[in-house]
Amino acid sequence: MRTVTIMLSGLLVLGLAGTAEAKKGKDQGDAAIPQCGKNTKVARPNDEGIITLKEKKKRGCIIDVKALHPTQSAVGMDAVECKAEKISSKAKAGKLDDYLLADNRWVPMVRGPGGVFYLTDHHHLSTAVWNADIKDKDKKVYAFLIADWSNMKEDAFWQEMIKQHDTWLKDPAGNDITPSQLPKSIGALQDDPLRTLSAWVRGSCGYVKCDPPGAAKDDDELSCADKFPNVTCADAYFLEFKWGAYLGSVQEVKEALAGEASCSQQTPLNTPCLDNQYEKLSKALPAAMNAAAAPAAQQAVGTGAGYNPAVQTGIAQPKHCK
């Protein structure tokens, strides 16, 4: 009996040691990703031009969303509300870090003059982290550097950003803006209802966007690129804004957005405004889907924008977060 007890005690010690070692390994793995700063190196794409998750973890960094500078003027706050809700839920379950470490949630950045970090994608994710019900110290994202133009003069830097399609210099009304008119922080991004509607149309395959490398699907459903293999999918820059501008010309959409439809307030998000906006845009969605399939859409958005001539039926109601 004494021998059995000793053996069980030994197994327990080994088990605890293994658990502690696993936790230590995880902590060390997280600690291996440094804070973003002057020593952050540009990530290197592989032979296929893809920056792998392994490379992101090797050269990437972690950054407070307050330190990120937007390269567009607006987001769809409806999507931000949903993402913020999910981030809050992940944090409460102790799974936020794993969620943000997923391959397709790393934020691409450019280092500009003065060492300022400009995010070139994932504005919605970053804004959701900003607005999530989590501690301020946890409002961070994992990021990787795609270019270092910190030695450039300000004007030359923005010319390069425009050339590389790393900025969208239009306001929610579609008017041209200058780089100096961009929001100075994530918390100052405006709401663009047309960006929200455009995302809904894309989600219902009204136009087809290519699946990005490393995309993590939330379910087992086929993507629009899978469902419509004969449609040339688009990986065009700022595709949703381009389609949003076209959808804004649809009469039913104009009527839905008559008056003040924007909900730009952050921390906290303006939930009553977003609820009202959701109802208006939901009613305009069928007309927007029909407009997306019309020949006029292809002429308006141009080639390489994922135009899908198939008229969609049985359009699902967009997810609404409260």
Strands (E), the chain: 61-64, 68-69, 74-75, 107-111, 117-119, 140-148, 190-191
Residues of the chain short of pLDDT 50, as ranges, are 1-29, 219-220
Q: Crossing angle for the helix pair 193-203 and 271-293, nearest 10 degrees?
A: 50
| Residue 265 Cα distances to 49, 138, 186, 271, angstroms | 38, 21, 12, 9
Q: Which strand ranges, in their side-by-side order, compose the sheet holding 117-119?
A: 61-64, 140-148, 107-111, 117-119, 68-69
CA distance 131 to 136: 10
DSSP category for residue 176: B
| Residue 47 Cα distances to 51, 52, 102, 103, angstroms | 10, 11, 22, 18
Q: Crossing angle for the helix pair 77-92 and 193-203, nearest 10 degrees?
A: 70
Strands (E), 59-198: 61-64, 68-69, 74-75, 107-111, 117-119, 140-148, 190-191
CA distance 135 to 154: 34
Q: How many CB atoms lie within 10 A of CB 56?
A: 22
Tallying the residues shown for the chain, one arrives at: 322
Tens of pLDDT along 268-310? 999 999 999 999 999 999 999 999 999 999 999 999 999 999 9
Q: What is the pLDDT at residue 236?
A: 75
Q: What is the pLDDT at residue 222?
A: 84
Could you tell me which of 247, 258, 126, 128 has the C-alpha nearest to residue 195? 247
Q: What is the pLDDT at residue 101?
A: 97
Tens of pLDDT along 122-156? 999 999 999 999 999 999 999 999 999 999 999 99
The domain segmentation of the chain, as residue ranges, is 35-190, 192-301
Sequence-separated (6 or more) residues with CB below 8 Å from residue 222: none
DSSP letters for 3-55? HHHHHHHHHHHHHHHHHHHHHHHHHHHHHTSPBPSTTPPBP---TTS---HHH
Residue 176, beta-bridge partner list: 170
The two three-digit tokens of residue 302, written as one number: 């141009």
The two three-digit tokens of residue 260, written as one number: 């003040």
Give yes or no for a contact between 163 and 157, defined as CB atoms under 8 angstroms apart: no
Q: What is the pLDDT at residue 213?
A: 66
198 burial level (CB within 10 Å; 0-12, 13-18, 19+): buried
Could you tell me which of 241, 275, 251, 243 has the C-alpha nearest to residue 261? 275
Q: What is the pLDDT at residue 312?
A: 84
Determine phi and psi for 190, rounding to 5 degrees: -90, 170
CA atoms within 13 A on the CB side of 80: 33
**Interior/surface letters 121-148, b for 16+ CB within 10 angstroms, e for the rest:** bbbbbbbbbbbbebeeeebbbbbbbbbb
CA distance 195 to 174: 11
Please tell us whether the domain made up of 35-190 is placed in CATH 1.10.150.50.
no
